[in-house]
Copies of this chain bind each other. A is one copy, B any other.
Amino acid sequence: MGRWEPNARQRLERAALALFVERGYDATTVAEIADRTGLTKSTFFRHFGDKREVLFGGQDMLAQLFGDAIRTAPPSATTADCLAAALESAAVAFTPERHDLAPQRRAVIAANSELQERELLKRARLASVMADALRARGVGDVAARLAAEVGVLAFSTAYARWAAPGNRRPFTEIAHASLRDLQACAATLGAAADVRA
């Protein structure tokens, strides 16, 4: 880091999202983002690799948090416990102060098909990181892949509920409820196999 710029990353992120909404993602330049915050382009590039990272840098951080949470869960933790730990670890990224950014980010991505593809690919990467971490704990391949998809679905459902306008419930509480909903559906889908076996 160079010169001290209080909250530079957050200011840049807020300015970028506001500009993406106003002018469109493709039409916004890094120079404009820096201008609006009174910071320089080089300060921008100290915090973000490129314009796209303003939108997706958070998902790289999530991949790290999910993987770490699963790897460091106690040996006695079940696969479902590992998913719960992963979701809890994400709560640091979804604080009340960040709640107003979520609808902006969503609107920017919804307006751009390339960004939508990027979002799907990032979700696939989250699943792959979780499956790898579960396999490293000795979970079988099929069970790890299924659990990872359930984890990503729980995360994306919880994120949408948390980001809904007017929501005041904390992310962790919503995430646990989403995971329980999915586990209940998994039990129903799994039970059909017993009947037929």
Q: Which residues of A contact B (CB under 8 A)?
A: 78-81, 117, 120-121, 123-124, 140, 142-143, 145-147, 149-150, 153, 157, 180-194, 196-197
The 9 closest A-B pairs by CB, nearest first: A187-B190, A183-B193, A80-B192, A186-B190, A186-B186, A149-B149, A143-B185, A146-B185, A120-B124
Chain B residues with CB under 8 Å of A142's CB are 153, 157, 181-182, 185
When all copies of this chain in the complex are counted, the total is 2
* Contact for A184 among B80, B145, B149, B193, CB less than 8 A: B193
Closest to A147 in B: B189
| Across-interface contacts of A150 in B (CB, < 8 A) | 146, 149, 189
- New A-B contacts (5) at CB < 8 Å, excluding given A79-B189, A146-B182, A184-B193: A81-B192, A145-B153, A187-B187, A187-B190, A188-B190
Q: A143 to B188, Cβ gap below 8 A?
A: yes
Closest beta carbon of chain B to A97's beta carbon, Å: 29
A185: B residues at CB distance < 8 A: 140, 142-143, 146-147, 190
